Amino acid sequence: MENNQAKKQNIQIFFCDVDETLVVNGEVPEMNKKAIERMRKEKNIKFVIATGRSLSLIEKISKDLNLYDKENEYSICGSGSLIYENKKNKLLYAKQLKEDLFYKFYEFGKKFDVYIIFIGLDYNYYYKPSEEEIKRREHEDSKYIILEDNFDLTKLLKGEDKILRICFGKENSFDYLLNMQKQIEENNDYKDYINCFIGANRYLEINPKGVDKGEAVKWLCQYLNIKKENAMAIGDSNNDISMIENVGFGCSVAGANDELKKISQYVCEKDYTEGAVKEVIEKFLL
């Protein structure tokens, strides 16, 4: 699509994935910051983080982009299970996995060489996390708790923090996680209740049925009275597919997986480490 054709779509909102798209080593590169700031100031286009992370894990990113605690600015978290207005972290939309499924997937996950994450509103709760994952969380100064081997899952689910979903993690193991995903999707006990997909090539995310980034994008656009054709998005992985399908103009970074590239209107020349977000903003929005 040529530059002028994209600009004719009158883009009003830009949804952006975080890991392997917006940030490098947990930080927003200066080149991306400057491009986003120009887009917001010069074109009055909303910039919305759309991530698998919890809200606490994007706090620093929101601050760096001057989105933190702002009225009429929004964030999509939990791969679409949560939508916030950034002012005072006002929760607009929330979906939670059925309680019995946490027990089933916890037992399922223990059969594999993965770490298990219970995603809460306030904290991420880790069962046997990798060293790399904890280093990421420390680097991002995020809120997390490591669970003991004999932790009480019932107590966790009944606690003050609302546990929304469960994830399985394994470093750089797309094929391994894909095999787990196939086993889950072939189980008739699950198919009517969950969506599952892989994010950042290291997380297999289990969400309630009907919850994904695409549904959240659709909901927020309707909430803001923005038409699909006036929305744009960029991502890199399977959990971004539904998001790209629910905007007028979808982009993927150069290192995105093939499935996402096939449905994108534009595939970046640059990967996320080289400024793919800056590339699409300058090419299509400025």
221 and 171: one domain?
no
Which pLDDT score is estimated for 137?
A: 87
Residues 194 and 265 in one domain: no
Which range (59-63, 73-77, 143-147, 186-190) has the least confidence? 186-190
pLDDT tens column, 205-257: 999 988 899 999 999 999 999 999 999 999 999 899 999 999 999 999 999 99
9 has pLDDT over 60: yes
**Structural domain total, the chain:** 2
As a whole number, mean pLDDT of residues 149-161 equals 95
Q: What is the pLDDT of residue 8?
A: 57
Give per-residue pLDDT as tens, 68-126: 999 999 999 988 999 999 999 999 999 999 999 999 999 999 999 999 999 998 899 99
Co-location of 13 and 73 in the same domain? yes
Indicate if the alpha-carbon torsion angle 206, 208, 212, 217 is positive or negative: negative
Question: pLDDT per residue over 127-137, tens digit each?
Answer: 999 999 999 88
216 and 84 co-located in one domain: yes
* Domain final residue, candidates 208, 242, 270: 208
Mean pLDDT to the nearest integer, 54-61: 89
Domain of residue 144: give its range: 99-208
Which DSSP category does 55 fall into? G
Listed residues 186, 208, 230: the one ending a domain: 208
Residues 186 and 123 in one domain: yes
Alpha helix locations (H) across the chain? 3-7, 30-43, 59-64, 99-109, 131-139, 153-157, 174-185, 213-223, 241-245, 258-263, 276-280
On whether both 201 and 107 belong to a single domain, the answer is yes
**Which one of 148, 179, 208 terminates a domain?**
208
CA dist., res. 49 & res. 133, Å (int): 21
pLDDT for the residue 169: 97
One domain for residues 39 and 66: yes
Same domain, 106 and 199: yes
Res. 140 pLDDT band, cuts 50 70 90: confident
User: Which CATH number characterizes residue 146's domain?
Assistant: 3.30.1240.10
In whole angstroms, how far apart are CA 257 and each of 50, 186, 237, 250, 262? 18, 23, 6, 14, 9
Strand bridging mode 266-267 / 163-169: unpaired
pTM for this structure? 0.82
pLDDT at 5 over 80: no
246 with 188, same domain? no
Q: Judge whether residue 2 has pLDDT over 50.
A: no
Pair 117, 149 in one domain: yes
Q: Which two structure tokens, joined as six digits, stand for 8?
A: 């004719």
Q: Does residue 195 sit in the same domain as residue 104?
A: yes
- CATH number, residue 39: 3.40.50.1000
Domain co-membership, 90 together with 218: yes
Identify the pLDDT of residue 1: 46
The overall average pLDDT reported for the chain is 93
